[in-house]
Amino acid sequence: MEEAVSEVQAIYEKIHHQTEQLSNQVIQDLLMPKIQELCINNNLSNVILELSKKDNYTYRHCIGVAVISFLIGKWLRMNDEELNELAIAGLMHDLGKVKIPDLILNKASRLTADEYAEMKLHTHLGCEMIRNISEMTEQQALVALQHHEREDGSGYPFGVSGEKITPFSKIVSVADVFHTMISERVYKKPVPLYQVFQEIHKSSFGLFDPKIVHSFIMNMMNRLVGDQVILTDGQVARIVMLHPDALLNPLVEAQGQFYDLRHSEHKILDFASNQ
């Protein structure tokens, strides 16, 4: 993980300072093996824990978004060429932030209206920078531009909606929000993982593409079957089985007692590994 974070930082700095002519293929050769290695890690909880650390946040975030985007693309049955293109789009989605002052990016208090307007420029800046990198596709450039757009038109920079947002941008927007929420920053604590799933699920009714969110939550929860959770009464339980109609309210077992959380007064507070 740390090696991948260092590689991303080096790539961003080379592009920013124009010290080396990079191409899509060079970036793929450097980072795709590391992204794929993280994607096949069987211990998802450990990967999430590593991704959520606050040190070198900008570059860790880019790795996190690339990994989650790659996984979503795989779950949506994209081919290898599409997966590579999507992962690098996720990796480069925040490239424009190298041109935003650190005082704004790392500000612990609320941004002023002027600061927020400047921060939002990273979408335009990133798009133009990616267009100037050899072999990068227009869809990758549009991910940098559109990853803050939302299905209902409430996003930025243009407030476009629905089919005007590219498929890659829709995937990266979910990955971006997921990683942002689980991460610790100077101005916020990480949101508990189970609560993140709840918030993203709720956002599939307006903000995100429902098909993408369903695939994301179903497959993430599938990889967490067998993991321990904390219930609202303080018990530690184990996820036994998912219900297709209620992915976030699975069948769990605690001390030999089974609870179907669709119909139980017990609910999940968080995953035990996040405590």
Q: What is the structure's pLDDT at 54? A: 67
> What pLDDT, in 10s, does the model give residues 213-242?
999 999 999 999 999 999 999 999 999 999
Tokens 């903000």, residue? 207
Residue 275 has pLDDT above 60, yes or no: no
DSSP per residue over the chain, as a string?
-HHHHHHHHHHHHHHHHT-S--BHHHHHHHHHHHHHHHHT-S-HHHHHHHHT--TTHHHHHHHHHHHHHHHHHHHTT--HHHHHHHHHHHHHTTGGGGGS-HHHHT-SSPPPHHHHHHHHTHHHHHHHHHHTSBT--HHHHHHHHHTT--TTS-SSSS---GGGS-HHHHHHHHHHHHHHHHS-BTTBPPPPHHHHHHHHHHHTTTTS-HHHHHHHHHHHHHHTTT-EEEETTS-EEEEEEEETTEEEEEEEEETTEEEETTT-S--EEEEGGG-
Residue 4 confidence class, pLDDT cut points 50, 70, 90:
confident
Predicted model pTM: 0.94
| Measured distance CA(229)–CA(163) in Å, rounded | 38
Mean pLDDT of the chain: 93
Assess contact for 1 and 9: CB atoms under 8 A: no
Q: What is the structure's pLDDT at 187? A: 73
Among the listed residues 264, 216, 259, the one whose alpha carbon sits nearest the alpha carbon of residue 238: 259
> What pLDDT, in 10s, does the model give residues 9-42?
999 999 999 999 999 999 999 999 999 998 887 6
Residue 52 has pLDDT above 80, yes or no: no
Distance between terminal CA atoms of the chain?
22
Q: What is the structure's pLDDT at 44? A: 72
> What pLDDT, in 10s, does the model give residues 106-141?
888 999 999 999 999 999 999 999 999 999 999 999
Give the residue-averaged pLDDT of 196-203: 96
If one looks up domain 2-223 in CATH, what number appears? 1.10.3210.10
> What pLDDT, in 10s, does the model give residues 242-252?
999 999 999 99
Among the listed residues 78, 84, 93, 80, the one whose alpha carbon sits nearest the alpha carbon of residue 125: 93
